[in-house]
Amino acid sequence: MIRKHIYCGLITVAMFVSTALPHAALAAEHNAPHKAIVGSWIETITVTGPGAPPPFKSVGVYSDDGNLVFSDQGGVTLVPPQTFSATVGSWTYIKERTFAWTAIALISDLSGNHVGTLKVRGESRMDRSGDKYTSRFRAEIFDANGLLLFAADGTNEGRRVSVEPLP
């Protein structure tokens, strides 16, 4: 009789472990530090150096699959007359709440002709709350033939966009 209770107890423990551990592993994976940047963000971007524009905003998403898409304020300029597409790119976890990323945007004249490319490479570090990050970046503008025309450094601060339930 005691042996039967031991076997029943072991089976119960085995069933619990076989169902609970995969759920715990999935939860840990979702909350893992290497996925902390996944989500929607609003940023304040500050380009440094002579002739830099005033700080501006950007909104975007870091996807779970390592892709990113952002759209910046001021995507159309009159001097020079041009438009910037949304930036698309990739990101990866480096270490300890730090992520590296590269994003590309196409530059067109106001008639829609491709006149260049913007490439931005950066590194972002999450704060401990997981709802903010600070970044440093290097932006490079290339002409339509790939010749580097301009480079600038800068910083940005991101804040997570969270669900705000209706009252």
**Over 80: is that where the pLDDT of 16 sits?**
no
**Over 60: is that where the pLDDT of 13 sits?**
no
**Over 70: is that where the pLDDT of 99 sits?**
yes
pTM of whole model > 0.75? Answer: yes
Q: What is the pLDDT of residues 51-63, one digit of tens each?
A: 899 999 999 999 9
Averaged over 97-122, what is the pLDDT?
97
Alpha helices in 88-151 (DSSP H): none
**What is residue 5's DSSP assignment?**
H
Which amino acid is located at 85 in the chain?
S
Residues 6+ apart with CB under 8 A from 102: 89, 90, 119, 120, 121, 122
What SS3 state is found at 60? Answer: strand
Domain spanning 34-160: which CATH class is it, in words?
Answer: mainly beta
pLDDT attached to residue 32: 61
